[in-house]
Amino acid sequence: MGRFAVDVGVAYEIGTRRGPRSQLSAIGLLREEFFLRFGETINELLIGHRQQFEERARGHTATADSSETQTAFQIARSPDDPKQRWVDGSPENSHYICGVRKLFPNAVFVHLVRDVGSVVRSLLNFTRTGGPPAVENEQQAYQYWLQTARPCFQAERAYGSAVVRRLQYSDLIDRPEATIRGLLSFLNEPYESACLEPIRIRINSSNVPPDFESSDPATDLAVVEEAHRLEDELVRNPGPFEPSHTIAAEMESAFELRVYRIRNLESNHVKCLERVANLQRELDELKADLPLANSTEDLKGTHSRVRQSKLRAALTRLRRRHWKL
């Protein structure tokens, strides 16, 4: 949903780029309503498929063998329950909280925090879940934790604890009933003992061996230290938080920058291809002007030093232009 919010922002920019002559501007469609209508449609679409979801769940239970039946739990509401809510638990949404709020202004978020060491060990063993590797090495695991935990912490302070609730993973394991009760209170949902059933079976668990050692000498210690500093900051600042307009404005600016970059991605790609072509032509001209050495003797003398100096200057110029792409 997060990336989709960016695409909606891009679509609106395209639909209004010529001012009054643009389609969306001409009909007076404001940006806020544009986001909101997409969010409402998504909501209706997902809720509208509730019956199919429940029928599929019942069908799976009916065809399961005895061992599966013993561990199965009810994942659909009862037919007479009027509540209709859905959850998107994609970790990538941590990068798009600002955009998701544009689609769903009444959405609330749960920031599930786990100690960075356990997350690193889990990510490095993620193939045990049956899926592809989550990261390639230990450093990427630390970076993944940083890239998801940092924006969630920022969102806590930007929108306040009434919108973003922090949930400690250790609390969920050590005292599940009290933790789930607190979470449901935040969601304005009633507690039932059946609410504990889903967390008794840990899906997508890496099942890390007790003797697994994650230390990698190739890991940049600066990344490790940065992760532990953020972890310490989270411990020192548990909340609750009041909304901060300043931090919210920072998140808004970051979202708008992302929309701008995606909006101009195609044109920037064309410009980069043109620059690469120009650099290649310049390089070919330099090669034509600087005869290749045929022997060791050709590398000696004043003329050779001049040629090498010109070549070094050209390479420096090419590198500088490359970094501007």
pLDDT digits (tens, 9 = 90+) for 236-286: 999 999 999 999 999 999 999 999 988 888 777 777 778 888 887 877 777
Instruction: Calculate the average pLDDT of the chain.
Output: 82
Backbone φ, ψ for residue 164 (5° rounding): -120, 115
- Identify whether the C-beta of residue 1 lies closer than 8 Å to the C-beta of residue 42: yes
323: phi then psi, degrees, rounded to nearest 5: -70, -15
Average pLDDT over residues 126-131: 73
pTM here is: 0.75
Residues 201-250: tens digit of each pLDDT: 766 666 777 777 777 889 999 999 999 999 999 999 999 999 999 999 99
Domain extent listing, the chain = 1-88, 108-263, 272-323
Q: What confidence score (pLDDT) does residue 303 get?
A: 55
Instruction: Please give the CATH architecture assigned to the domain spanning 108-263.
Output: 3-Layer(aba) Sandwich (3.40)
Q: Which residues pair with 56 in a beta bridge?
A: none
Confidence of residue 132 (pLDDT cuts 50, 70, 90): confident
Confidence grade of residue 68 (pLDDT, cut at 50, 70, 90) = very low
**What value, to the nearest 5°, has the Cα angle with vertex 282 and ends 278 and 287?**
145
Extract the tokens encoding 219.
């890991």
Q: How far apart are CA 297 and CA 284, in angstroms?
A: 24
Q: How many angstroms separate the first and last alpha carbons of the chain?
A: 30
pLDDT at 41 over 70: yes
The answer to whether 219 and 117 are in contact (CB under 8 A) is: no
CB 113 within 8 A of CB 164: no
- Residue of higher predicted confidence among 196 and 55: 196
Amino acid letter, residue 214: S
